[in-house]
Structure 1
Amino acid sequence: MRIYGLKACDTCRKAVKALDGAELVDVRADPLGPDQIARFLEAFGDALVNTRSTTWRGLDESERAKAPEALLTAHPALMKRPVIETDDGTLHLGWGKDVQAALLG
């Protein structure tokens, strides 16, 4: 299982701790490739871009108007996190009660 997020993110750390054997992929240190971004956007759409983050609030209107692919490439921290990929390729977004129930049983 892989967890895509930030090593400094409390939510990502909670997910890693709860999911034994999960590998954290820090998207700042190891940015997502275009194929991964496209796959995540196909699964989650615009929900993948965290418009409540401090990174988003720091962008001007012209930056915010860019396509999600361009935003996530330029600013990896804009990705809502964590994105959890199970061993069978299923993707989950966030660490809410619904995701916890699906992954922890």
Structure 2
Amino acid sequence: MTTLYGISNCDTVKKARKWLEQANVDYTFHDFRKDGLDRQQVEKWVSALGWESLVNKRSTTWKGLDDDAKAQLNDSTVVAVILDQPTLIKRPLLDQAGEISVGFKVADYEQRFA
């Protein structure tokens, strides 16, 4: 099963969805702003990727965090912050049968779905 996580108005998520549809990949889209996230999902992603790879440090949400909150982030504290601010997650997040990746590059998707 393939699930693409993100927010519907994100340009990169739109590109990934378009690519998946054109490649006839059967997938489910989960908008984490509308559909929410649960602790177990986020813990799985942090475990698979590490929080530094999961968090988008170029996002408006990241820039809005105070410096103390940023300095205190680690694999265990980041889960609560992400649950409170899901747009911190680098988008899109792709879960293909348990293999997790973030971001969208055509070459990467071509390789994964070859």
Gap regions ≥5 residues in structure 1: none
How many aligned positions are there?
A: 104
1:28 aligns with 2:29: no
Hey, what does 2:86 align to over in structure 1? Answer: 76
Hey, what does 1:42 align to over in structure 2? Answer: 47
Task: Tell me the distance in 1 between the aligned counterparts of 2:68 and 2:6.
Answer: 25
Gap regions ≥5 residues in structure 2: none
Query: What is the TM-score normalised by the length of structure 1?
Result: 0.87
Task: Tell me the distance in 1 between the aligned counterparts of 2:107 and 2:49.
Answer: 15
Query: What is the TM-score normalised by the length of structure 2?
Result: 0.81
Q: Which entry has the higher C-alpha Rg, 1 or 2?
A: 2
Hey, what does 1:6 align to over in structure 2? Answer: 7
Identity of aligned residues (%): 34
Task: Tell me the distance in 2 between the aligned counterparts of 1:72 and 1:99.
Answer: 25
Task: Tell me the distance in 2 between the aligned counterparts of 1:30 and 1:75.
Answer: 13
Provide the alpha-carbon RMSD of the alignment. 1.5
Asked if the contact 1:93–1:99 (Cα under 8 Å) also holds between the matched residues in 2, the reply is no
